[in-house]
Amino acid sequence: MIFLLDTDILIVAMRGLKSAKTTERKRAEGIVDRCQQELAKGNRVAISAVTVSELEYGACRSGQYPTEIVAVHKILSPFDVLAYDAIDCPAHYGRIRHDLEIRGVAIGGMDLMIAAHGVALGATVVTNNVSHFSRVVGLQVVNWLAAR
């Protein structure tokens, strides 16, 4: 099984691991623990190149790029970063976007790309934004924060 971590889950982990607040730190540690559990079971825990792009943008936008990009690289280091391939992903993207728009439940462009990548891989997207990703027909979605 492949778990594809969405950007929001990684941001919760990054911020929480740096936080002095116990609740935020525990949430982050819970994400790290769950990743380790899944890897120990033989599952793959990975990140889409689309998510890496979003994290890069966030680091640039922060006004503290050198500090933020170090945190980004640290959080990414244990994971495989999977390329958004030019063959399967665009076809899924087109189908998903069309379906969501005709149903009147569109989601953001980057979420669409992550969803398409997840469907192409047959992966389960791990997100705290279940309300958006669960609209995508054929995409498996889980929220590791809610499961705690």
Total residue count of the chain as it appears in this document: 148
Domain total for the chain?
Answer: 1
What CATH number corresponds to the domain at position 72? 3.40.50.1010
> How confident is the model over 78-133, as pLDDT tens digits?
899 999 998 889 999 999 999 999 999 999 999 999 999 999 999 999 999 999 99
* Closest residue by Cα to residue 130 from 146, 109, 108, 148: 146
pTM (two decimals):
0.91
> How confident is the model over 8-55, as pLDDT tens digits?
999 998 888 887 888 888 888 899 899 999 999 999 999 999 999 999
- Identify the residue whose tokens are 């825990």: 45
Up-side HSE of residue 80: CA atoms within 13 Å toward CB?
A: 11
Task: Tell me if 148 is assigned to some domain.
Answer: no
Task: Tell me if 147 is assigned to some domain.
Answer: no
Give me the domain span that covers residue 11: 2-142
